[in-house]
Amino acid sequence: EEVEETYIMVKPDGVQRGLVGEIISRFEKKGFLLKGLKLFQCPKDLAEEHYKDLKGKSFFPKLIDYITSGPVVCMAWEGVGVVASARKLIGATNPLQAEPGTIRGDLAVQTGRNVVHGSDSPDNGKREIDLWFKEGEVVQWTQAQAPWLRE
Ligand code: DAT
Ligand code: MG
C-alpha cells in the first residue's frame, strides 16, 4: 500500500449541473487528502495534451469541445491506493454500466457527459497534476484527522 496522488476533475457538465460539492464530498468522506483545488477554464491545447492517448479516436474532437465548453474543477488528491480507489468511486466510463453508489452510476447517463475524470495510474496521476496545476498550487499539509484514518 503506497501513498499516491491522483488528478480528479469535475467536467463542465458536473459544474453546470451543480454537482461540484457532491463530488468533492465523496472523496473527502472517503478520507483522502485534498492537495489542490481550482475552478478553471481549460484551453484547447491543454485538453488535447491531457487526452493525447485518445487522439485519433472518432470521438476525440467532441471530447475536446466538451472539456473546453465551460469551467472545470481541478483537484489533486493524495492517499494510500488513491488512484484505483478513486476510479472505483467514479465508476465505469459509460454511466449506464457504472454501479449504483459510484459517482457516474448515481449522477450520469451518457459516456459523453460522465461528469468526472480520474487518473488511471500513479504515473498518470503525477503527469496530470503537473499538467493542470502550476508550481505553488499544490499544497503539502497534514490532516488533523490523519491518526483516525490510518493506524
Ligand atoms: P475514463 O474517463 O473512464 O478514464 P477513457 O480514459 O477511456 O475513460 O476516456 C476518456 C473520456 O473520453 C471518457 O471519460 C469519455 C470519452 N470517451 C471514451 N470512450 C468513448 C466513446 N466510445 N465514445 C464517446 N466518448 C468516449
Ligand atoms: Mg481515462
Is the ipTM higher than 0.85? The answer is yes
Q: Whose CA is nearest to atom 1 of ligand 1?
A: 93
Alpha-carbon gap, residue 91 to 101, rounded angstroms: 9
Q: Which atom of ligand 1 is nearest to the CA of 53?
A: 6
Active-site residue (options: 117, 118, 129, 133): 117
Q: Whose CA is nearest to atom 3 of ligand 1?
A: 93
How high is the pLDDT of residue 17?
98
Between the CA of 58 and the centroid of ligand 1 the distance, in Å, is 11
How high is the pLDDT of residue 50?
98
Alpha-carbon gap, residue 106 to 98, rounded angstroms: 8
- Give the pocket of ligand 1 (CB within 6 Å): 54, 59, 63, 93, 111-112, 114, 117, 120
How high is the pLDDT of residue 1?
81
Q: Which atom of ligand 1 is nearest to the CA of 118?
A: 4
pTM exceeds cut of 0.80: yes
Alpha-carbon gap, residue 39 to 32, rounded angstroms: 20
Do the Cβ atoms of 75 and 88 come closer than 8 Å?
no
Task: Please report, for residues 19, 20, 101, 112, 123, the alpha-carbon distance to residue 83 in angstroms, rounded to integers and kept in the order given.
Answer: 21, 20, 18, 22, 10
Q: List, as one string, the DSSP characters of 17-40.
A: TT-HHHHHHHHHHHTPEEEEEEEE
Do the Cβ atoms of 19 and 10 come closer than 8 Å?
yes
Block means of pLDDT (10 residues each) for the chain, length 151 residues? Answer: 96 99 98 98 98 98 98 98 98 98 98 98 98 97 95 92
Do the Cβ atoms of 40 and 50 come closer than 8 Å?
no
Do the Cβ atoms of 117 and 14 come closer than 8 Å?
no
Alpha-carbon gap, residue 93 to 59, rounded angstroms: 14
Say whether 117 is catalytic. Answer: yes
Q: Whose CA is nearest to atom 5 of ligand 1?
A: 93
Q: Which atom of ligand 1 is nearest to the CA of 117?
A: 2
